[in-house]
Amino acid sequence: MPGVADRDGGPPRDSERKQPITMLADRVLVQIPVAEGERKSRAGILIPATAQVSKRLGWAEVVAVGPHVRTIKPGDRVLFNPEDRYEVDVQGDDYLILRERDIHAVASERIDGGTGLYL
């Protein structure tokens, strides 16, 4: 069968080869940092990852953007609502797919001439 590896270590199967991913339209592919689980309050109280906080926004790093995304670039950090997301597993890594309109803020090294907070 073409594309299937022999048991003695032949070429990799078609399903095991890495393929480039292109985001479409206004979609943004982000990855949440692994250390986002537990957090501490200002008073030093440890809050477990399982604690429910109503309407808490989260930060993630942008991995790829679609061709119609105007203000976000790969490498930026974005603030989004965790309820407005689609999860996807790519080669064993977890990512989220967001729409540009669902992103509330962007933290970036670029200076676009606007005013804002420094994070």
Contact, 38 vs 47, CB < 8 A?
yes
Residue 12 lies inside a defined structural domain of this protein: no
CB atoms under 10 Å from CB of 90, counted, come to: 13
The one-digit pLDDT tens for each residue of the chain (119 residues) are: 444 444 455 555 555 566 777 888 889 999 887 655 667 777 888 877 666 556 678 899 999 999 999 889 999 999 998 877 788 888 888 899 999 999 999 988 775 565 555 55
Per-residue CA distances from 64 to 19, 50, 67 (Å)? 14, 28, 10
CATH number of the domain enclosing 90: 2.30.33.40
Give the DSSP letter of residue 44: -
Q: Residue 115: inside a domain, yes or no?
A: no
Question: Tokens 């689980």, residue?
Answer: 37
- The first and second tokens of residue 99, run together, are 């729409």
Q: Which amino acid is at 110?
A: R
Owner of token pair 């095991």 = 16
Residue 85 within a domain: yes
Residue-number span of the structural domain to which 67 is assigned:
20-107
Measure the CA–CA gap between 102 and 76, rounded to whole angstroms.
Answer: 15
Domain count, the chain: 1
